[in-house]
Structure 1
Amino acid sequence: MINSNKYNLLVVLGPTASGKTALAVPLAYEINGEIISADSRQVYRNMDLGTGKDLDEYVVEGQQVPYHLINIADAGYKYNVYEYQRDFFKAFEDIHRRDKFPVMCGGTGMYIEAVLNGYKMIQVPSNPMLRKKLESNTLDELAGVLSSMKRLHNTTEVDTKKRAIRAIEIETYYQSHPEIEVELPELRPLIIGVHIDREKRREKITQRLRSRLKEGMVEEVKRILELV
């Protein structure tokens, strides 16, 4: 059993096809826990094969291990990091209120970082005047502006002009509203990183893709396109 006085969250993270779910679900079962997914694709409904939800793996010895933040958004909706952090802590507190133990499982780095590092996430309104001022800048110029305002955590913030402008918009809002404080629950995580040989992982990904194509992944995509 996990020492709940020392830890209040178990985190199982790793790359695609590393066996995260196969490890996290039995662990959750053993410690009376529930899974909180950290996967930016599995939040979407009807994307079962393509995102590898494998929900049958959430049954251990005939019992369902509860899971959260899977199948919570419609295809086409732009679910974001702010919403993930908010929804994670809602699930986290709900699980603890019921005397269960939360187990975060996934591989979406920005989701995991936003939670574990306690990023200040605020729903920032759009700023049309700032956007108009920035739209003529090149991507390199926008990246320079953003890097002068904050340390860049990853390149996804500046991989397109649209994202770079939005990132500057958010940082500008933060700097002009220093009084805003975000209260987050204290986390005491035990983190398990799953490592797998690269070649073995490639083989697993290939096998998984072939299996999902046979199971109807192309048809699943066609159905989704009809919905959006």
Structure 2
Amino acid sequence: MPNYDLITILGPTASGKTPFATALAYELDAEIISADSRQLYRGMDLGTGKDLDDYTINGRQIPYHLIDIAEPGYKYNVFEYQQDFLKAYEDIQEKGKLPILCGGTGMYLESVLKGYKLIPVPENPELRQKLAGKTLSELTEILSSYKTLHNSTDVDTAKRAIRAIEIEEYYVTNDTEQREFPPIKSLIIGLDIERELRREKISRRLKQRITDGMIEEVKGLLEKGVPAADLIYYGLEYKFLTLYATGQIEYDEMYNGLETAIHQFAKRQMTWFRGMERRGFDIYWINASLPMEEKIQEAKALLNR
């Protein structure tokens, strides 16, 4: 265990990352740092799958960080994530505990594991005007022409794609030299879930979350004054449910479109993680279908090699 500064647990949506990470944290007396680009927003609970009950095991609360740290509507970015991660990481280490990084947002994970030098990127009105009116597929094609890193897994609206291009263009045209991000030696564990089982779990979970009040959650955010455009910006559940709540699409179109979008999102996540392996990250894959105790034992064996 002393050979690692951090344990990272990654995997596609519905692979069981949070229950596994919290069970492992319980065993190791560790703390969780979230790497989810939407769970950091307060009040966005069911739609982001926070599952905060998973953080209590046998009456013990597993400490977590970078969840519920921003107001809905705010445009949080990767630069901020690096800074917030580093503060949480150092705070946990000062307690003499092991941090566990857990999430499925590839860019967040890679930005801290590889220590990319990132800076805040201002808006570019001229570029935005130039890109206005282009379709999502056209914008995605433009984004793919850049050689630098961007989290394409989360780009499922034109607004997000334009922001992604804006960031890439800034890095191309500006000197982005910044202070070094500290090197972090992490054991990276991926949860490998069979495709059909993943699809089944995604569909079952979507039904459950709608039953639990996910539509009402979105309506409540709108009633509190969060602009519909801001919720749509977050994509996936918030995009489709906001379009439904504001009368722009019917229920069946919302449900079927959202289900398809989540399946596509999970596929893009796996493409990102395989890309991480090609970029030199060693990811040790554990079968997500194994009983929890077996997964924990495999993780401990990896730690103690």
Say whether the fold is shared (TM-score over 0.5).
yes
- Tell me how far 1:134 sits from its aligned partner: 6.3
The partner residue of 1:105 within 99, 102, 105 is 102
Which residues of structure 1 form unaligned runs of 5+?
A: none
- SS of residue matched to 1:56: helix
* Paired residues for 1:52-71 under 5 Å: 52-71=49-68
Contact 1:14 1:195 in 2 (8 A): yes
- SS of residue matched to 2:174: helix
* Paired residues for 1:70-109 under 5 Å: 70-109=67-106
The partner residue of 1:16 within 13, 30, 33 is 13
1:80 & 1:143 partners in 2: Cα distance?
20
Structure 1 residues 219, 145: closer, same or farther in 2, change over 3 A? Answer: closer
1:29 & 1:85 partners in 2: Cα distance?
25
Aligned to 2:256: none
Cα deviation code 1:123-181 (max 9, x no counterpart) = 234566x7489669x868x949963xx4455655xx7445323321233222xx6xx43
- Tell me how far 1:61 sits from its aligned partner: 1.4
| TM-score computed with the length of structure 2 as normaliser | 0.64
Structure 1 residues 146, 168: closer, same or farther in 2, change over 3 A? Answer: farther
* Paired residues for 1:134-213 under 5 Å: 143=142, 147=146, 150-152=147-149, 155=152, 156=155, 160-174=161-175, 180-213=177-210
Aligned to 2:268: none
Please identify which structure carries the higher helix content. 2
1:86 & 1:66 partners in 2: Cα distance?
19
Structure 1 residues 144, 212: closer, same or farther in 2, change over 3 A? Answer: closer
Identical residues among aligned pairs (%): 53
Aligned to 1:36: 33
- SS of residue matched to 1:41: coil
2:210 & 2:50 partners in 1: Cα distance?
15
2:5 & 2:13 partners in 1: Cα distance?
25
1:217 & 1:33 partners in 2: Cα distance?
31
| TM-score computed with the length of structure 1 as normaliser | 0.84
Which residues of structure 2 form unaligned runs of 5+?
A: 227-305
Aligned to 2:213: 216
Contact 2:9 2:189 in 1 (8 A): yes
2:207 & 2:129 partners in 1: Cα distance?
48
1:57 & 1:70 partners in 2: Cα distance?
13
- Give the aligned length: 217
1:191 maps to a residue whose letter is I
Structure 1 residues 204, 168: closer, same or farther in 2, change over 3 A? Answer: same
* Paired residues for 1:96-135 under 5 Å: 96-126=93-123, 131=127
1:92 & 1:152 partners in 2: Cα distance?
23
2:113 & 2:28 partners in 1: Cα distance?
21
Structure 1 residues 116, 222: closer, same or farther in 2, change over 3 A? Answer: same
